[in-house]
Amino acid sequence: MSPGSYNHLVVRDGLAAASYGKAVERRAAQNLRNDPTLQHTGMARGPNGQFIHSPDFVDAGGTYDVTTQAGLPSQLARPYGPTTTHPPRPSNEYGISAMISYQNETFSMIKDSRADRVVADIQLDGCVIDNCTLSYHQANGSRSVVRNVKISNSQFVGCQLGPARLEDVEITNCKANDLVIVWGTIFSRVKLTGNIFPLKINTIVEFSAGVQTQSLYDRSREEFYRSVEWALDLSEARLMSFDSTGIPGRLFRLDPETQGIVQRSNLDSGWEGRIPPSNPWLPWIYNMLSTTDEDFVLATPLAKPKAQREKYLAGLQELKSFGFVGDTGS
């Protein structure tokens, strides 16, 4: 990439996407000349003789499409998209990749059936993500990766997030048409801010997953969290509801006024008799005791109507007064 083209990326002007696209094409051409195993598919034609979309290259391992991150959603939506490999964007000579922004766009029916995707360097604002699925569970325990992504003022409709790995992700003022359940997803430096949809984080990757497959994902999750600085920042989130399993409490960043952590070790043999039956957090405590987790997070549903959020906030303060809830995990 020439210094002039690189400058378009630095200032992110109107020629940034085109400049980066040219760099991708040049690098792809260089690599292809050095790899005799790849074959160009040529220009494909449909039954009526018109040119149609087709993968760019084939080899013994499958089919490939070369595209920029900006073009990836449309590539995935093609009939052959879910079974085609899209090589990651090569870095330019300066080692810097520009974030691609989408505004008021709709992404529909994008399916990641092989859990081998890398979704990176994307910013969505005012978008609709409609019936998309990321990272189906796999027998080999693979995970798709979402890295350096910002999503704001957007809506999720009928989407499913499987055992992906999320890194350096920010979600701000987003809603959904229903409870968002994430299945076996792992988190590193993920921040939720503003009004956020109801969220439930499961360790289960899918009810139909076999015991060996689930065990493989469980082991990788536990190993991952041993080396993570922090996983989820909820301190500035106004959640409709929140429930999670599998993430150690020490890896959360919380607002001590409206959120807290219950530790299993604090629930002595007489704890039930000390908490009034009217405390709204009792179901969360019973749920934690049904898992193997040593602690779990309580987050006041600040996005709910005033009467409901005040009930949960009062219940949280009551649990803190009894010594059952602290501000940090062990």
Domain-wise residue ranges, the chain: 1-98
Q: What is the DSSP code (8-state) at residue 92?
A: -
Q: Report the distance separating Cα 294 and Cα 222, nearest Å.
A: 13
From first CA to last CA, the distance across the chain in angstroms is: 49
In terms of Cβ atoms closer than 10 Å to its own Cβ (0-12, 13-18, 19+), residue 328 is: middle
Q: Which pTM value belongs to this model?
A: 0.73
Q: Report the distance separating Cα 316 and Cα 261, nearest Å.
A: 10
**Mind listing the pLDDT tens digit of every residue in the chain (330 residues)?**
666 676 666 556 667 777 776 776 666 666 666 666 666 555 566 677 665 667 766 665 677 776 655 566 666 667 776 666 666 554 443 344 567 889 999 999 988 888 888 889 999 999 999 999 999 999 999 999 999 999 999 999 999 999 999 999 999 999 999 999 999 999 999 999 999 999 999 999 998 899 999 999 999 999 999 999 999 999 999 999 999 999 999 999 999 999 999 999 989 888 989 999 999 999 999 988 999 999 999 999 999 999 999 999 999 999 999 999 987 655
Q: Report the distance separating Cα 74 and Cα 110, nearest Å.
A: 9
Q: Which two tokens stand for residue 227?
A: 């080396």
